[in-house]
A and B are shown apart, each in its own frame.
Chain A
Amino acid sequence: MGRALLAGLVGLVALLFTVSLLVGPAGLAPTEALLALIHGNGLAETLVMREIRLPRALLAVLVGSALGLAGAAMQGYLRNPLAEPGLIGVSGSAALGAVIALQTGFAAAHLLALPIAALTGAVVAVLIILALAGPRGGSITLILAGIAVSALAGALTALVLNLSPNPFAAAEIVFWMMGSLQDRSMIHFWIAAPFIALGALLLLTQGRKFDALTLGEDAAASMGVHLGRLRLTLVLGVASMVGAATAVAGAIGFVGLVVPHILRPLVGARPSALLPASALGGAVLVLMADIAVRVILPTRDLKLGVLTAIVGAPLFFHLIYKTRMQGQL
């Protein structure tokens, strides 16, 4: 079951990745587009395919898998299906870090300053959330802490952008809060990729520990899981992935909520199986959203977070209702 599911998800990612490469306002025929991408036929076509569409499709995979995996990992650690990087303010704080790096000129001076600053913002948020919600991650404290962190990060992001001498900066609050992959380049891919790969490595190797944790902290500790170390790994892994993803694509919400929720019953609720499946599922969701924004409004920059929220918010309502029914809220 697990292996077939992963293979199916890989196939879906490959299919959507190809579709993503073929969608765009330039009006290229599919064969023409792929020939330009692979062989470099035609200067204009090659530029469109290699410099505009390829980074966009690659980033959708990268950012989607980061958000899906980070959501599944946080939910595994806190054993709470509402723990999602966007909802609890981790993405918002990463955006704040990125905006500070950009507006102080730090990001222009060092190539890696942007993802590192976003990562720092994300680390601070994860630490605040874990401190407030406690190791067991009660739903009410988790959500309330998330609201507070999100509100503060959002306000400070708006403040920094409003203080910028650049007249365009203030209008970009929407980008930082909703996310978009429009007009990104391979540079963005290369600055995000190492951090996301590192985070994925940190989190994917913890699957067995999350499995043990489903039996309770004491049982996990008796099985040799070092909770303090797991917590540190989680903080670094989530912050590294969400930080890098947000630095290049803005804060895209609900991916980490929707994807693990859909996949959980398919993997028998085992965190170790849910982690890789959620990474692939996140890539599927963000690829679909990024194709949809270009099909719905081809000439405008419709934000990805708009679509993920339209899909994700009703699910969020459902989860809150279900949690209440189980008497956990």
Chain B
Amino acid sequence: MRGQAITRSLHALVLACLTLPFGGAALALPPQRVVSINLCTDQLAMLLAAPGQLISISRISHDPNVSVMLEEALAYPINYGQAEEVFRLEPDLVLASAFTSPHTVGLLSRLGIEVAQLPIASNLDDIPRNIREIGHLLGREAAAEELVGQFEADLAQIRAAQPGVRRAALHYANNYTSGVNSLAHEIITAAGFENVAAEAGLSGGGTLPMERLVMLMPDLVISGQPYPGASRSEEVLRHPAMVALRDRHAAGALADAEWVCGTPAVLRAIMRLVMLHDEG
């Protein structure tokens, strides 16, 4: 991943040298019109960009269900992540995720637009890496270092506080949960809980039948937030067996927008879990 990033930066440098008439030793200028088409790159770009540098963010950042930076996000125009509309914004850099549709990325690249794809954060150590990468792409290395420093200090403080004895389970729609090698697992373990899905041998995200989840008897059930409208997929969150599991302890928890992206917001998710841990 880092290799790719360096190659990309080199490409940018070569391009910049070719287009600058008196280029020579001058480094590439930071991009002036940055468009982000992914929720997680939206957040890092909003945290790091210079005033006026970020001109559009993805529609999802205006969705209160998943956006941790809704207030800041409302100040930016939104895009729907389609190649045609992004091209018309005349960006000199597009920020996307590793999971952004390859069609969109390929089309934009063919149109001559620089697209940077940020890898998914699957553990807490990926967060400083991603912050630094966005900082580098935006030419905001100093701001990135400051944010990384703050994040690492806060994380160290939280981690110093906890011994892990109690067991927690993530429970989303369709009995989806997260095992080892996932950001959610790291959030749970950083807060001092054992993740029961990891006990069941799950790696990454996947489904665990409700029967098995009940048999694992977690002390804390962390549920996903239901969307508006109805779905059978989300009915499992209110299933009497899961309600009975949650009722054994006063506290339940909600895995919300703060769990979605590898940004410093995950610290708030960890802190809320730590508080539940201490109460129990």
Contacts and interface: CB of A to CB of B under 8 A. Distances in A.
Given A168-B234, A298-B209, A26 B229 contact: no
Interface string A167-190: 111011001000000010111000
A224 interface: no
Interface stretch (A46-54, A215-223, A235-243): A46-54
A164 interface: yes
Contact of A183 (B215, B236, B245): B236
Contact of A299 (B209, B216, B235): B209
Given A168-B174, A183-B236, A183-B239, A299 B230 contact: no
Query: Size range of the interface on A?
Result: 20 to 34
A44 B215 contact: yes
A207 interface: no
Given A48-B241, A171-B233, A183 B210 contact: yes
Interface string A285-329: 000000000000011000000000000000000000000000000
Contacts of B245: 47
Interface in B227-262: 227-236, 239-241, 244-245, 248
A54 to B, nearest CB: 11
A27 B200 CA distance: 13
B214 A26 contact: yes
A166 B230 contact: yes
Given A51-B239, A168-B173, A185-B240, A102 B212 contact: no
Nearest to B231: A168
A44 B217 contact: yes
Interface string A96-124: 00000011010110000000000000000
A43 interface: yes
Contacts of A265: none
B33 to A, nearest CB: 31
A24 interface: yes
Contact of B240 (A45, A51, A103, A299): A51
A26 B244 contact: no
Contacts of B214: 26, 44, 47-48, 52
A25 B209 CA distance: 7
Identify whether the interface residues of A are mostly helix, strand, loop, or mixed. Answer: helix
A280 to B, nearest CB: 28
Contacts of A107: 230
Nearest to B173: A168
A165 interface: yes
A51 B246 CA distance: 14
Contact of B230 (A167, A169, A186): A169
Nearest to A169: B231
Contacts of B230: 102-103, 105, 107-108, 164, 166, 169
B207 interface: yes
Interface in B78-123: none
Contacts of A105: 230
B244 to A, nearest CB: 6
B211 A25 contact: yes
A52 to B, nearest CB: 5
Nearest to B207: A299
B175 interface: yes
Contacts of A187: 240
Interface in A14-36: 24-27
Contacts of A43: 217, 248
Contacts of A51: 239-241, 244
A26 B241 CA distance: 14
Contacts of A25: 209, 211-212
Given A52-B214, A169-B229, A47 B209 contact: no
A166 B231 contact: yes
Nearest to B238: A185
Interface in A62-93: none
Contacts of A47: 214, 241, 244-245
20 contacts: A25-B211, A26-B209, A44-B214, A47-B244, A52-B211, A52-B239, A103-B229, A165-B228, A166-B229, A169-B230, A175-B232, A183-B175, A183-B210, A183-B236, A183-B239, A185-B239, A185-B240, A186-B240, A187-B240, A299-B207
Which 3 interchain pairs have the tightest Cβ spacing? Answer: A166-B229, A168-B233, A26-B211
